[in-house]
């Protein structure tokens, strides 16, 4: 697939560190690779206020035994978190966060990841993200509510989707066969427009940063009631084979 981007204004959005913190904040599972095994862990990790990752394996699990037998008390590990759109799109993976380091005992059977490197991969590219920036960043304030808001929009408000798409005017290519919400954060809402081959991702930036879910609803209403003042804040990407 090749991608051509046409951006009408300077794009604003979360930093890489904020994206990492957002992905970590809503992840309920992860893929773990160590010297001896590769597995998926569901509901067995926590993330601290500075982005620290802690695993909570069952005491009799293979991971717990491998960590206990590791030389010098720590186990080399790679953790991958996948951020998937909550609506039934094509290409639902929005981002992947990979953290590598060593797992060390943290008390009560928990294993703390002493992180050495974190990388973020999105459709726009991949980058290593400095650990100090991750520690200072915060998750997006809509992260916890995003899935419910997007699925509600897709299932119950087809007319609102039509109005939002109308903000793009003639810039959307013809031949769209389906559109669904892709993402929502404090900066704006992104819609995925699907074609027989490829898709467009249309980002509509809010007039002001949304503080919470209620404020995000108000920002969407402002987009629709004052489209002329906000039209310059649309970002359009087109993807075709």
pLDDT of residue 203: 92
pLDDT of residue 227: 53
Write down the H helix ranges in the chain. Answer: 16-26, 62-68, 131-136, 146-156, 158-166, 213-225, 227-230
This prediction has a pTM of 0.88
Are 129 and 148 part of one and the same domain? no
Are 47 and 156 part of one and the same domain? no
pLDDT averaged over the chain? 89
Residue 230 lies in a domain: yes
Residue 94 confidence (pLDDT) above 80: yes
pLDDT of residue 181: 97
pLDDT of residue 184: 97
Q: Classify the phi-psi angles of 51: left when phi > 0, otherwise alpha if psi is within -120 to 50, otherwise beta.
A: left
- Provide the CATH number for the domain around residue 186: 3.20.180.10
Write down the H helix ranges in 79-123. Answer: none
Are 93 and 125 part of one and the same domain? yes
Note the pLDDT tens digit of each residue in 4-46. Answer: 333 333 347 899 999 999 999 999 999 999 999 999 999 999 9
Contact 121, 164 (CB under 8 A): no
Q: 3-state DSSP helix/strand/coil percent for the chain, to nearest 5?
A: 30, 40, 35
Please give the Cα distance from 120 to 97 (Å, whole number): 5
Residue 1 lies in a domain: no
Which residues, in sequence order, are CB contacts of 148 under 8 Å at separation 6+?
A: none
Please give the Cα distance from 202 to 101 (Å, whole number): 36
Are 62 and 162 part of one and the same domain? no
pLDDT of residue 228: 52
Closest CA to 57 of 114, 113, 112, 110: 110
Please give the Cα distance from 132 to 52 (Å, whole number): 11
Contact 150, 86 (CB under 8 A): yes
Contact 12, 41 (CB under 8 A): no
pLDDT of residue 9: 35
Domain that holds residue 227: 143-240
Note the pLDDT tens digit of each residue in 134-154. Answer: 999 999 999 999 999 999 999
Note the pLDDT tens digit of each residue in 125-138. Answer: 999 999 999 999 99
CA angle, 104 as apex, 75 and 42 as ends, to 5°? Answer: 80
């Amino acid at each position: 697939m090749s991608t051509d981007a046409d951006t009408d204004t300077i794009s604003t959005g979360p930093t890489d560190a904020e994206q990492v913190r957002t992905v970590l904040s809503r992840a309920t599972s992860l893929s773990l690779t160590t010297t001896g095994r590769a597995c998926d862990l569901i509901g067995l990790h926590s993330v601290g206020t500075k982005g620290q990752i802690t695993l909570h394996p069952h005491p009799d699990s293979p991971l717990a035994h491998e960590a206990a037998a590791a030389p010098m008390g720590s186990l080399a590990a790679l953790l991958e978190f996948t951020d998937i759109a909550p609506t039934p799109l094509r290409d639902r993976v929005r981002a992947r966060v990979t953290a590598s380091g060593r797992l060390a005992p943290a008390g009560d059977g928990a294993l703390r990841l002493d992180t050495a490197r974190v990388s973020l991969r999105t459709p726009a590219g991949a980058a290593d993200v400095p650990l100090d920036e991750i520690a200072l960043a915060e998750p997006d304030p809509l992260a916890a509510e995003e899935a419910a808001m997007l699925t509600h929009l897709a299932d119950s408000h087809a007319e609102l989707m039509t109005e939002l798409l109308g903000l793009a005017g003639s810039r959307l290519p013809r031949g769209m066969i389906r559109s669904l919400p892709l993402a929502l954060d404090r900066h704006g809402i992104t819609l995925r427009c699907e074609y027989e081959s490829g898709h467009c991702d249309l980002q509509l930036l809010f007039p002001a940063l949304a503080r919470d879910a209620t404020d995000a609803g108000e920002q969407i209403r402002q987009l629709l009631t004052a489209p002329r003042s906000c039209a310059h804040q649309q970002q359009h990407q087109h993807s075709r084979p």
